Chain A
């Protein structure tokens, strides 16, 4: 075990921060660090918060974190902001909103930028949650702008996902249709003191009713994915009921900057946590998450192996040239590169 891991487990804040830096940079050795940390995880509640820009995510997270701190629970927050696709630079501004927890070291707040990485961000987020969990945080909050697949992947790190909707924005509700609505366990209409809040609540309720026709849609599609594998069945705890219990996502109204409704929101999160425990879905979700993580890592590593192999053969350009000249075609190229690898694997299989 490295000194860094030992320092993190001993509760040293700078070690935790450095581990997350290594995760972000994919520094040499970060894999061993995560491997060492994994056995110390599994105790934290992970909450995902997403919603359109300006919905009030950071402000609500600040108030939620402050309330948890009042209850003597330690909190870790990961806030993900977009980065410029041109310079790679970013201004990470979520920290400005964290005024309620200023100077409190047991409230660990970390800004991460998307760094234009393709899909790699969800891996980095998962690993950062691992680090915070191993550090001993009771509650971990992952906060991200909700738009598109990348964000959907990120919030899947969480046990409970909260989706924030600002009022009076028909367009935002439109945006929610595209994938975000399905992943919310709790919906929050923030800025509920503004005009149009009632209407937004009503619209949301109608849309959610449309969704309740599909009972499995409420928990991150855990059963769908588990269905890929006969052995990993999410709903294996039935309490004698024929109908498995389903989760009806509540809609909570908050005015985050005044702290109104935060208590209701926390109760809704706690209710969902109880539901996960009662139905055994927490375990199902964890299974699904680890399965997805293993698949992602396999894909990334296999991809790296192939890039190396391609480089060894002189790079992709010569193949492209040959394909353009019509001497060969993409399928043949792939076969040519993969055949030795397949043979290696076959040989190993025969030996064992």
Chain B
């Protein structure tokens, strides 16, 4: 039986992180559940995490996808701190970094320039995101 399991696709691990003082986690819950149902292993951070807690979780859990949910508008401050932390622990290159929430167009370009792979705003569908992860999950 273990032989058959080895043949199948490896399990993708995703971190769903709420960072900063933003207390709206309904979206993060919905996404965590959708990713679970898509067969991913989801680690949910809980609310009000500091950037270095997100880094700690992303490194230790060795996730393929770091999903950062921010609805507070503080993305320009918090996301770069997470990216720096991941680089510090050598955990940036082989990870997909996604941001979900409300990010103005101007900021989107800047975040992408800093290393965010994709940004999902209001109206993005679950299928879109799951397909994106399947297509872009890092080779390991």
A residues contacting B by CB (< 8 A) are 12-14, 17-18, 20-21, 24-27, 83-84, 87-93, 95-96, 99, 102-105, 108-111, 113, 115, 117-118, 120, 300, 303-304, 307-308
Interface of A is mostly: mixed
List chain A residues, Cβ under 8 A from B36: 84, 87, 89-91
Is the beta-carbon distance between B2 and A120 smaller than 8 angstroms? yes
Is the beta-carbon distance between B60 and A110 smaller than 8 angstroms? yes
List chain B residues, Cβ under 8 A from A303: 2
Assess A91 versus B33: contact at CB under 8 Å? Given A21-B62, A113-B41, A115-B11: yes
State in angstroms the CA–CA spacing of A223 and B12 once bound together: 41
The stretch of B45-53, B100-108, B111-119 that contacts the partner chain: B45-53
List chain A residues, Cβ under 8 A from B89: 13-14, 105
Assess A95 versus B90: contact at CB under 8 Å? Given A17-B61, A88-B11, A102-B50: no
Q: How far is the CB of A260 from chain B (nearest CB, A)?
A: 23
State in angstroms the CA–CA spacing of A117 and B1 once bound together: 9
Which partner residue on chain B sits nearest A21 by CB separation? B62
Instruction: List 22 contacting pairs A-B, 8 Å CB cutoff, sorted by A.
Output: A13-B60, A13-B89, A20-B62, A27-B10, A87-B36, A87-B38, A87-B39, A88-B39, A89-B37, A89-B38, A92-B41, A92-B44, A95-B43, A95-B57, A99-B46, A102-B49, A103-B53, A104-B56, A105-B89, A108-B60, A110-B60, A111-B41
Is the beta-carbon distance between A92 and B11 smaller than 8 angstroms? no
Contacts across chains A and B counted by CB atoms under 8 Å: 104
Looking at B5, B35, B56, which has the most chain A CB atoms within 10 Å of its CB? B56
List chain B residues, Cβ under 8 A from A25: 10-11
Is the beta-carbon distance between B2 and A96 smaller than 8 angstroms? no
- With A95-B45, A109-B57 given, can you name 6 additional A-B contacts, CB distance below 8 Å? A14-B91, A21-B62, A88-B39, A102-B52, A103-B52, A117-B2
Per-position binary interface string of chain B over residues 67-83, scored 1 when its CB falls under 8 Å from any chain A CB and 0 otherwise: 00000000000000000
Interface residue tally on B, bucketed by range: 35 or more
Is the beta-carbon distance between A12 and B35 smaller than 8 angstroms? no
Which partner residue on chain A sits nearest B56 by CB separation? A103
State in angstroms the CA–CA spacing of A56 and B59 once bound together: 25
Question: Of A12, A92, A109, A118, which contacts B42 at CB under 8 A?
Answer: A92
Q: How far is the CB of A242 from chain B (nearest CB, A)?
A: 47
Is the beta-carbon distance between B53 and A93 smaller than 8 angstroms? no
List chain A residues, Cβ under 8 A from B91: 14, 17
Is the beta-carbon distance between A13 and B32 smaller than 8 angstroms? no
Q: How far is the CB of B122 from chain A (nearest CB, A)?
A: 23
State in angstroms the CA–CA spacing of A13 and B61 once bound together: 10
Q: Tell yes or no: B139 within 8 A of A by CB.
A: no
Q: Tell yes or no: B40 within 8 A of A by CB.
A: yes
10 closest Cβ contacts across the A-B interface? A96-B46, A17-B62, A89-B36, A103-B52, A21-B62, A102-B53, A89-B39, A87-B39, A91-B42, A88-B39
